[in-house]
Amino acid sequence: AREIRLKSRPVGMPEAANFEVVTVELKDPGPGEVLVRNGWMSVDPYMRGRMYDRPSYVPPFALGEALQGGAVGTVVKSNDPNFAAGDLVESNLGWREAFVSTGAPLTKLAGGVPPQAYLGVLGMPGMTAYTSFHRIGDPKPGNVVFVSGAGGAVGSTVCQIAKIRECTVVASAGSDEKLDWLKSVGVDEVVNYKKGNLLENVRKAAPKGIDIYFDNVGGEHLEVALEVARPWARFIECGMISVYNDKEPSPGPRNMPYIVGKRIKMQGFIVFDFIDMREQFITEMTQWVKDGRIKWQETIENGIENAPKAFLTLFSGGNAGKMLVKLD
Which stretch in 13-21, 58-66, 107-115, 311-319 sits in contact with ligand NDP by CB under 6 A? Answer: 311-319
Cβ atoms within 10 A of the Cβ of 265, count?
14
Check binding of 14 to ligand NDP (CB under 6 A): no
- In 40-123, alpha helices (H): 46-49
Interacting residue with ligand NDP among 182, 314, 325, 327 (CB under 6 A): 314
Alpha-carbon separation of residue 159 from 78, 129, 178 (angstroms): 40, 9, 12
Residue type, 62: A
Does residue 301 touch ligand NDP according to CB under 6 A? no
Asked if residue 142 lies in contact with residue 168, where contact means CB atoms within 8 angstroms, the answer is yes
Q: Could you tell me which stretch among 54-62, 82-90, 198-206, 235-243 binds ligand NDP (CB under 6 A)?
A: 235-243
The contact mask relative to ligand NDP for 247-266 (x = CB under 6 A, - = no) is --------------------
Q: How many residues bind ligand NDP (CB under 6 A)?
A: 29
The SS3 of residue 40 is: strand
Q: Which is nearer to ligand NDP, 101 or 128 (CB)?
A: 128
Asked if 117 interacts with ligand NDP (CB under 6 A), we say no
* Pairwise CA distance, residues 240 & 123, whole Å: 20
Judged by CB under 6 A, the stretch of 173-181, 195-203, 227-235, 258-266 that binds ligand NDP is 173-181
Burial string for 274-286 (b: 16+ CB within 10 Å, else e) reads: beebeeebeebbb
Among 10, 39, 303, 317, binds ligand NDP (CB under 6 A): 317
Site membership for ligand NDP, residue 238 (CB under 6 A): yes
Give the one residue of 68, 101, 160, 242 binding ligand NDP; rule: CB under 6 A.
242
Choose the stretch contacting ligand NDP; rule: CB under 6 A; options: 81-89, 105-113, 289-297, 312-320.
312-320
Residue among 246, 233, 151 nearest 190 (CA): 151
What is the C-alpha separation between 258 and 228, in angstroms, rounded?
A: 10
Site string for ligand NDP, 122-151 (x = CB under 6 A): ---x--x--------------------x-x
Chain centre to alpha carbon of residue 170: 19
Amino acid at 326: K
120 part of the interface to ligand NDP, by CB under 6 A: no
Contact string 266-295 vs ligand NDP (x = CB under 6 A): ---xxx------------------------
Name the pairing type of β-strands 71-78 and 33-42.
Answer: antiparallel
Beta-strand pair 322-326/298-302: parallel
Question: Residue 143 or 242: which CB sits closer to ligand NDP?
Answer: 242
Three-class SS of 280-303:
HHHHHHHHHHHCCCCCCCEEEEEC
What residues make contact with ligand NDP under the rule CB under 6 A? Answer: 44-46, 125, 128, 149, 151-155, 173-175, 178, 216-217, 238-239, 241-242, 269-271, 314-315, 317, 319, 323
